[in-house]
Amino acid sequence: GITSIQNMDGNYYQLDILRELEADGALPIRVRVPYLLTPDTDPRHVRIAADWRQEFQSDFITCDFVKLFADGVVESGTAVMVDGYSDAPGKNGTPLFFSDSMNAAVELADSLGLQVAVHAIGDGAVRQVLDAYEAARKANGARDSRHRIEHVELLHDDDFPRFRELGAVASMQPPHPPGAMDFPVSTYLPRIGEAREDTAFRSRELLEAGVPVVFSSDWPVARLSPMAGIQAAVTRKPWRQGGKDQSVTLDQALNAYTAAGAWVEFREGTKGRLAPGYLADIAILDADLDAVPAERLGNVAAAVTICNGRIVYRSDAAEHS
């Protein structure tokens, strides 16, 4: 049921293989790959991404954005926090980039018309990335950049309005919230503390505030299935009585996995919805989603997948129907 992916950990070698597959007519899916800038790389290397953008720009393969990692994860204490960890006072996590280096990389990418996507999980890392996006806007002027922050697990109240002000995109993964699907609460909630619970995984709040929100899998960290993610998004429960409800509607979840995903690629005029003139990228499911109980949405599967007008997958049941 998947017709487009964004491989957030790609490289030139993968792009070259994908190009060979496309030339052989053997690539059954559209793939977008970033240029990955590591903390030990000179920010000026972002210019390589502009070269890759020219080299890889086809119907099935694009490389037109830059990926960075700002921090690690909460469970290991490597996510960067504003006010430290509840179970380790005084420890905030260490940023992977110095702010000057991140700002330089983001400003250069922005000046070249490249989108930027940064992994940021802790509220301190999210703040650092928002600061970089703000610096790029001041340096280069406002534009339709659609710069993204990947994960946004913790978002400080002071930074919440900055998402909309800066036009930043929240790229979130519904199976990630502990207890929602795959991850236990026991290794997460003690780290952030009860006072920060309502600032975690704020998908519903961001949507209601008019912030662009896109959903994805983060596979292989979490399940690949979009339907599993949709189930997690619509059935999510607060961790405690009186906690904020961050569940979303079925329509909101579907949009975040389809039309919003196309929009964040700057391809909202060609894919992401069924409409005249759009690409024939279609997933036909084996059930009517409106008739399926929310807690069973993850069991829904693709019967037929069509990419670029070609059937690339057909389930056994569909084969014999």
Run of H or E residues at 41:
none
Residue in 31, 29, 37, 38 with CA at minimum distance from that of residue 15: 31
Residue range 16-70, pLDDT digits in tens: 999 999 999 999 999 999 999 999 999 999 999 999 999 999 999 999 999 999 9
pTM, two decimals, is 0.95
Name the CATH architecture for the domain at 4-275: Alpha-Beta Barrel (3.20)
Cα–Cα dist 303/226, whole Å: 14
Residue range 58-112, pLDDT digits in tens: 999 999 999 999 999 999 999 999 999 999 989 999 999 999 999 999 999 999 9
Q: How confident is the model at residue 279 (pLDDT cuts 50, 70, 90)?
A: very high
Give me the pLDDT at residue 199, please: 98
Residue in 39, 60, 36, 63 with CA at minimum distance from that of residue 50: 63
- Predicted confidence (pLDDT) at residue 321 exceeds the cutoff of 80: no
Phi/psi zone of residue 308: left (φ > 0), alpha (ψ -120 to 50 degrees), beta? left
Residues 199 and 155 sit within 8 Å (Cβ to Cβ): yes
What tokens appear for 217 in the block?
A: 């899998």
Give the domain ranges of the chain: 4-275
Q: How confident is the model at residue 182 (pLDDT cuts 50, 70, 90)?
A: confident
